Amino acid sequence: MLEEKMKLSDFKYNLPKTSIPKFPVEPRDSAKLLVLDKNTGEIGHKLFSDIADYMDKGDVIAVNQTKVMQARLYGKKERTNAKIEVFVLRELNKEEKIWDVIVDPARKVRIGNRIYFNDNLWCEVIDNTTSRGRTVRFNEDAGDIFKAIEKIGLTPLPPYIKRDAVPEDRNSYQTIFAEIDGSVAAPTAGLHFTPSLVKKITKKGIKIVPVILHIGLGTFRPVEVEDLTKHRMDSEYFEIPDESAKIINKALEDKKKVFVTGTSSTRALESSVTAEGFVKANYGWTDKFIFPPYDFKIAKRLITNFHAPESTLMMLAAAFGGYDNLMKAYKKALKEDYRFLSYGDAMLIK
């Protein structure tokens, strides 16, 4: 297919509900791994624990260090005691404790309303941003809001996982690399790594380097235009630490492989490229939308999950592996009972 003419409908496929798991496999690295050779289109079947076999001394793996916030809060509106869900999106002002949130039911929440979560935490609505979006200010004496949310919030499972969050999700829906609060969705390719697998990888002389991209709700937002050039991504905050940039650039100079874990890490790295084709230490906001055709500068290998039809994540994977290769791999994965989406299996595109 001519990738110059990619349309939204090109990324349609039938994903049965039975292919979307509600819980992850244990241990995490026992997930299946489909290996796709982007040059030949050849497909192999492994376990995620075998991924180290595709790595050599001097290679580098970039992982997203973002941590999923316990973003779903339930509180009561002052005076009426109406139950209100407040889904925290991102911190806007640390000192003044101002945040972007989504409220439900939105019709009950107006500017000036206060919502109480417990004796120590409440917020006041100070602005309307969208039909369900609000800007709120948390109470001054609440302390660290990230910590307060962590105590009382629920794990923000994706909408396609049709169940309530359980305590185990606090760990299951978090990668072992998670350190920096800020996401409302997990960087799911990283969910397959275990401490023993990391030990095996580093023992081979492979360096694991952190980047950050805080994933927002836009990751689940449907693309609504057939012409992909007209789609606009939500902006998300990213950081490329100086040390990570140095290690990645050394690997590129030495012609070693740079494995990138997930579409979020890939977007962070590809958002900060020098004219010479190296990664630049950087931080800021990115709305980079990667779809075929795209010339990747930093990522040489992609570790990813199987994504929803017509999603921007699937489009990035198609840009990396080649559209025809990816569609063939998805078809094969469905036939072979691979698990799709967040708690699903993995793919290595090499």
Residue ranges per domain, the chain? 3-68+170-349, 72-152
**In angstroms, how far is the first alpha carbon of the chain from the final one?**
20
Strand partners, 62: 209, 260
* pLDDT, tens digit, 9 for 90 and up, residues 106-152: 999 999 999 999 989 999 999 998 888 999 999 999 999 999 999 99
Region 52-69: what's the mean pLDDT? 97
* % of the chain residues with pLDDT over 90: 94
Start-end of H helices in 256-295:
262-270
* pLDDT, tens digit, 9 for 90 and up, residues 7-37: 999 999 999 999 999 999 999 999 999 999 9
Angle between helices 312-321 and 323-335 (to 10 degrees): 110
* pLDDT, tens digit, 9 for 90 and up, residues 212-231: 999 998 888 889 999 999 99
CA-CA distance, 228 to 314, in Å (whole number)? 13
Residue type at 94?
Answer: K
72-152 classified as CATH 1.10.10.10: no
Backbone dihedral angles phi then psi of residue 200, each to the nearest 5 degrees? -65, -40
* pLDDT, tens digit, 9 for 90 and up, residues 156-209: 999 899 999 999 999 999 999 999 999 999 999 999 999 999 999 999 999 999
So what CATH class is 3-68+170-349?
alpha beta
* pTM for this predicted structure: 0.93
For the chain, the residue count is 350
Backbone dihedral angles phi then psi of residue 118, each to the nearest 5 degrees? -160, -170
pLDDT at position 129: 87
Report, in this order, helix, strand and coil percent for the chain, each rounded to 5. 30, 30, 45
